[in-house]
Amino acid sequence: MNKLIKWVLPLFAAVSLSSCGYNTMVEERESVDAAWSQVETQYQRRNDLIPNLVNTVKGAADFEKSTLTSVMEARAKATQVTINPGDLNEANLQAFQKAQSGVSSALSRLLVTVERYPDLKANQNFRDLQAQLEGTENRIAVARKNYNETVREYNTTIQKFPKNFTASMFDFEKAVYYEADEGSENAPRVEF
Q: What residues have CB less than 8 Å from 173, skipping those under 6 apart? A: 158
Q: What residues have CB less than 8 Å from 34, skipping those under 6 apart? A: 150
Domains of the chain: 32-143 (1.20.1440.20)
Instruction: Give the C-alpha separation, 67 to 108, whole Å.
Output: 10
Question: What is the model's pTM?
Answer: 0.81
Q: What is the 3-state secondary structure (H, E, C) of the chain?
A: CHHHHHHHHHHHHHHHHHHCCHHHHHHHHHHHHHHHHHHHHHHHHHHHHHHHHHHHHHCCCCCCHHHHHHHHHHHHHHHHCCCCHHHCCHHHHHHHHHHHHHHHHHHHHHHHHHCCCHHHHHCHHHHHHHHHHHHHHHHHHHHHHHHHHHHHHHHHHHHCCCHHHHHHHCCCCCCCCCCCCCCCCCCCCCCC
Q: What was the pLDDT predicted at 14?
A: 56
Residue-by-residue pLDDT tens, the chain, 192 positions: 666 666 665 655 555 555 678 999 999 999 999 999 999 999 999 999 999 998 888 876 567 788 888 999 999 999 999 898 888 899 999 999 999 999 999 999 988 888 888 888 788 888 899 899 999 999 999 999 999 999 999 999 999 999 999 999 999 999 999 987 765 555 555 454
Q: What was the pLDDT predicted at 192?
A: 46
